Amino acid sequence: MMQAITDMNIQYEDKELLVVYKPAGLATQSARVTSPDLVSSVTRHLKGAPVYVVHRLDKPVEGLLVLAKTKQAAAGLSKQLQAGTLNKQYYALVYRGAEELPKEGILADYLWKNPQTQKAEIVAQASGKGKQAKLHYCVMTGKDDIALLDVRIETGRFHQIRAQLAHAGFPILGDQKYGTQTSMERSEELGIKNVSLFAYALTFTHPKTGKQMEFQAKTQNPAISHLLTTMNYKHRREKKVGVTRSHY
């Protein structure tokens, strides 16, 4: 059964583009006619008008996407994506176990997409087959053996955040492809079924008007939502008693 795009999914729409929230479990674009995907739903919403994909989110990942309605808008947005000025911010809920996770950091690796396993693998720069991948993260909050990270990527590689965090020893909860046995057992305990990665913010320059566009969405992931709510409540209490604290 095809999933329809609702007013709740559409964050913004004009003659050039749409900003849409994609729920976890829905593919951005599927090659299978019988499989539901975001692009097909948007195409029906536009009554058959063309839709141009600028960037994607993995099927088990939720969050914001900008889609173009014209070739000119698609070209302009693609240039921003390549230049690194189309910015995406993510929340990632990771399993840290007993490991010490630095408050903030930069992960820089070379990634190679294995065509057999359809996974991103960390390879040596000298191999010549990997592409540079770089991300910045900071710890927003945490509880016991899990932590919520705010992640910004400089490059948009295949499965980049999932592969790099797992390689660093902090796999994302709910990630069956890159998670460890322990992280998956913890995910099951918490009732997490999808990858706990959420593209919560999107910033770009409108390709037609030149206006700066900024969007944020709320997560549908209960575990991420709970930690954010707890963190915000704690900050409000600290503010009342004059405590100042920064996560950056």
Known active-site residue 109: no
CA dihedral 65, 67, 72, 77 (to 10 degrees): 10
Provide Rg for the chain, Cα atoms. 19
Ramachandran category for residue 93: left, alpha or beta (phi over 0 → left; psi -120 to 50 → alpha): beta
* Alpha helix positions (H), the chain: 38-45, 71-83, 160-167, 181-190, 222-240
Q: Which of 7, 14, 37, 58 is catalytic?
A: 58
* Alpha helix positions (H), 1-141: 38-45, 71-83
Estimate the share of the chain in helix, then strand, then coil, as percent rounded to the nearest 5: 25, 35, 40
**Residues 167, 81, 66, CA angle at the centre, nearest 5°?**
100
**Contact (CB, 8 A) for 64 and 23:** no
Catalytic residues: 58
